[in-house]
Amino acid sequence: MTNEIWITVFGLGLISFLIRISGFILASHLPKHGAWARGLEALPGCLIASLVTLMMIYGSTLEWITGIIVLVISALTHKPNLAMFCGIALIAALRQLGL
């Protein structure tokens, strides 16, 4: 098992780095104008939208309610950190109440 762990640690470490550097190299060869540029510009937002969707489709009702409240607080205050801490406090309180 020990050897298998080390092979996985180094193998995954190397492949992860190659994945990271490939993204940069790929983007540096893409045109800086037109459709490719528009796509790259939209990519971070699409990635976060996908990530949130993935997290929420497996979420409980409590997580959905708290998630919506976090979204509203962040949209109104423009302070994502404040919204995150409110969400953590709210979900902890609701769980303590046995919901």
Partner 1 sequence: MKFLFFTRRAIYLSRTNNEYLFTKFINMRAASTVRIEILYGIRDMLPMSLAAATYGLAFGLLASQSGFNNFQAISMSALVFGGSSQLVAMDQLVLGVGPAAAIIAGAALNMRILLITASMESIMRDRSWWHIGLGTFLATDASVALMQTAKSRLMTDSYWYFFGGGASLYFVWIVVTTIGAFLSSGIPDPELVGLDFAIIAIFVAILPGMWRGYVDIFPWFIAAGTVIFFGVWLPEYASWGLISGAIFGAMAAGLKND
Task: Report 15-44 residues binding partner 1 (CB under 8 A).
Answer: 15-17, 19-24, 26-28, 34-44
Tell me the longest C-alpha to C-alpha distance in the chain.
55
| Structural tokens at position 15 | 């492949």
User: Is the distance from CB of 87 to CB of 70 less than 8 angstroms?
Assistant: yes
If one asks whether residue 6 binds partner 1 (CB under 8 A), the answer comes out as yes
CB of residue 31 vs partner 1: minimum separation in angstroms? 11
If one asks whether residue 9 binds partner 1 (CB under 8 A), the answer comes out as yes
By CB under 8 A, what part of segment 62-81 binds partner 1?
Answer: 63, 66-67, 70-71, 73-75, 78, 80-81
If one asks whether residue 49 binds partner 1 (CB under 8 A), the answer comes out as yes
Q: Give me the phi and psi of 16, to 5 degrees please.
A: -60, -40
Say how many C-beta atoms besides its own lie within 10 A of residue 77's C-beta. Answer: 12
